[in-house]
Amino acid sequence: MEAVKEAPIPAMDSLTAAMKNNIVPNQEYLLQGSVLDSAVEVLLHRLRGLCDNVDSGPETFHDHEMCFSISNVYFSVHVLCPLHIIINIIFLLGSVTPQPLTLRVRRAIDYLDMPYQLRYIGQPELGDKSRPTILRNSIDVATTPTIVDFLTEMGFRMDFEYILRGYMFRKGRMKITVSKIFKMMVVGKPAPESVDPISQSYLVELSVLAPSNQDAIAEDMRVFAEQLKPLVHLEKVDYKRLTQPPM
Amino acid sequence: MQREDKQLELVLENFQSKLNEFKAQIYALIFKLEHERDNVNWTTVLDTFAVFSTQYTAIMKYLSYEKLPQLRNYSVLPLMLNPERDEDLARITENRVPALSHDIVPDFLRTKTEPEVEHKLMQVEHKAGGLQFETAQKQLAAFNKVVNHVLDLVSKAREEWEVETGARVGIGQTSSVADLHTLVSAVSMGKNLKPMVPQVSPGGMMVPPTGRPVTPSMGPNTPPMGMMPKPPPGMKTNVKAAGAPHPYR
């Protein structure tokens, strides 16, 4: 990434080459589950035993995520990296569909000097039964806080926003987050008194970012997910079924 | 007569070989227990016992086979008792019976219980026979009561134990599919997260509606979701219009 920042145009070429050689971690393997508030302590305890960061204890996070979207994306952006890269990658991946393009901006509420994170998440692929996890494209870059203004200027509109508060664990390349999702009662105000949990459960996500075609890691994730049963059932959530109202 | 004798001999020989086989197996187990105590695991011992049990059943079956002469119809008579050590006898019995003496013959050749035991048994039987019907019923009832009480205790203990183990495993629900779907659709598609009505002044406090908002697109098991603002007219949300009129509208 350092080299990329120095000269945008050659960087683009080298990035394209890197993508072709499958060394950019642009695939996210994902399993999702939930745990009731009453059982979250038990889960944290178990994760503490299973994961790598035993000594330091679980890492906590408190983030604010905004989801921006824009429809009719037929433009070519010529701005400085890294946003340039992310938007171009979207084109490279061929993910631009008639659906509105969404980008997510995430910032840490507890560490205000941390860079913002801009992230593109593709459509999740469920795959067949032999594939143990969901697979989706995922690209992220660190940005400055001005990204919000920048996106707005470009015509992006904020779709929704929410607050995540929870714990993060690591196990090898796997990342496990246990997070509570809060709805913001007042736009742009993530103060604790104006947020409201949207459910009585924590969202549990097990994910790995990897270059394409590294399906072996999915098997590791399946094994890890087995170890959390029956406390949490990490599964491939079918997003298509979620959009339809339940019977 | 001769034919019968021959048959008896054959049966005894068969019987003896079976018994010897059985005995050898028992010896093998004892040997194993004594010399390889550390390497024996309980499953093999259990297996051996199972083999013993079948062997025993087979022998008993063999003896009760109807075409065989009834061994119990034959009597064994001690013709001579001798306190001296009998080498032959010791060899046959593997040194368990060194001599056919007065000490052991009554025990070895006994066909009835000991007189003392027999006497006691008689007494008990007499007592049982002389019981009044009502007293017997009363005692029966009392005994049943005691047994039932013990049974209750045992089943209660078992129930408690099962509940305890169940609790340890976490039989209580720890995750909810409805919650998972709520969370995932919120994070991925912003369901229930779309911003508030834009007319609200930023400084003003929001007053949550008193009635719990229910949207038709939610399942019946969905827990309270906090506030569900009515979407502004132009905004695209996932709330689908239901066919029936909504109770809160």
Tell me, letter by letter, the H, E, C secondary structure of A18-33.
HHHCCCCCCEEEEEEE
- Please check whether residue A131 touches B, CB under 8 A: no
* ipTM reported for the complex, 2 dp: 0.79
pLDDT at A89 over 70: no
Contact B174 A43 (CB under 8 A): yes
Residue B1 pLDDT: 65
Most B CBs within 10 A among A199, A232, A244, hence the mutation to make, goes to: A199
Residue of B nearest to A37 (CA): B174
Reduce the DSSP state of residue A155 to 3 states and report it.
Answer: coil
H/E element, A174: strand A174-184
Task: Please give the Cα distance from A7 to B13 (Å, whole number).
Answer: 103
Q: Which of A120, A75, A73, A121 is nearest to A96 (CA)?
A: A73
Contact A230 B227 (CB under 8 A): no
Q: Enumerate chain B positions whose Cβ falls within 8 A of a Cβ in A.
A: 169-170, 172-176, 179-196, 198, 200, 202, 206, 216-219, 223-227, 238, 240
Contact B175 A67 (CB under 8 A): no
Taking the domains of chain B in order of start, what are their residue ranges? 1-73, 80-110, 112-167
Residues of chain A with Cβ-Cβ distance to B213 below 8 Å are none
pLDDT at A32 over 70: yes
Q: Which of A160, A149, A163 is nearest to A191 (CA)?
A: A163
Q: Let me know how long chain B is.
A: 249
Task: Please give the Cα distance from B71 to B59 (Å, whole number).
Answer: 13
pLDDT at B227 over 50: no
Handedness of CA B34, B36, B37, B41 (dihedral sign): negative
Out of A87-91, B151-155, B161-165, which region has the weakest mean confidence (pLDDT)?
A: A87-91
Residue A202 pLDDT: 93
Considering A70-84, A86-100, A165-179, B74-88, the range whose residues carry the highest mean pLDDT is: A165-179
Q: Which candidate from A67, A189, A199 shows the least CB-CB separation from B179?
A: A199
Amino acid at B90: A
Task: Give yes or no for a contact between A217 and A173, defined as CB atoms under 8 angstroms apart.
Answer: yes
Residue B196 pLDDT: 54
Q: Which candidate from A38, A159, A187 shows the least CB-CB separation from B190?
A: A159
Burial B34-69 (b: 16+ CB within 10 A, else e): eeeeeeeeeeeeeebeeeeeebeeebeeeeeeeeee
Considering A11-20, A238-247, B42-51, B73-82, the range whose residues carry the highest mean pLDDT is: B42-51
Out of A225-229, B33-37, B134-138, B140-144, which region has the weakest mean confidence (pLDDT)?
A: B33-37
What is the average pLDDT across A199-210? 92
Task: Give yes or no for a contact between A43 and A35, defined as CB atoms under 8 angstroms apart.
Answer: yes
Task: Give yes or no for a contact between A201 and A228, defined as CB atoms under 8 angstroms apart.
Answer: no
The CA distance from B214 to the nearest CA of chain A, in Å, is 13
Reply yes or no: is the peptide bond before residue A82 cis, omega within 30 of 0. yes
The pTM of this model reads 0.52
Q: Which candidate from B176, B182, B193 shows the least CB-CB separation from A161?
A: B193
A129-140 tens-digit pLDDT: 888 899 998 888
A41-58 tens-digit pLDDT: 889 988 888 888 767 777
Reply yes or no: is the peptide bond before residue A10 cis, omega within 30 of 0. no
Out of A201-205, B147-151, B219-223, which region has the weakest mean confidence (pLDDT)?
A: B219-223
Residues of chain A with Cβ-Cβ distance to B165 below 8 Å are none
- Please check whether residue A243 touches B, CB under 8 A: yes
Residue A218 pLDDT: 87
Query: Which residues have C-beta within 8 Å of that of residue B33, sequence separation ≥ 6?
Result: B40, B45
- CA count, 13 A, side-chain hemisphere, A38: 6
Q: In the A/B pair of chains, how many CB contacts fall below 8 A?
A: 125
pLDDT interval class at B218 (50, 70, 90): very low
Contact A67 B190 (CB under 8 A): yes
Query: Which residues have C-beta within 8 Å of that of residue A112, sequence separation ≥ 6?
Result: none
Task: Please give the Cα distance from A70 to A4 (Å, whole number).
Answer: 27
Backbone angles phi, psi at B231, to 5 degrees: -70, 145
pLDDT at B149 over 90: yes
pLDDT at A178 over 90: yes
Q: Which candidate from B175, B183, B196 shows the least CB-CB separation from A233?
A: B175
Contact A200 B179 (CB under 8 A): yes
* Ramachandran class of A188: left when φ > 0, alpha when ψ lies in -120 to 50, beta otherwise: left
Tally Cβ neighbours within 10 Å of residue B171.
Answer: 12
Q: Which two tokens stand for residue A61?
A: 């996070």
Amino acid at A200: Q
Task: Please give the Cα distance from A221 to A133 (Å, whole number).
Answer: 8
Contact A183 B193 (CB under 8 A): yes
H/E element, A201: strand A201-210
Reduce the DSSP state of residue A205 to 3 states and report it.
Answer: strand
Give CATH for domain B1-73: 1.20.58
Task: Please give the Cα distance from B185 to A170 (Å, whole number).
Answer: 25
pLDDT interval class at A87 (50, 70, 90): low
Residue A166 pLDDT: 93
Most A CBs within 10 A among B175, B192, B222, B228, hence the mutation to make, goes to: B175
Contact A185 B206 (CB under 8 A): yes
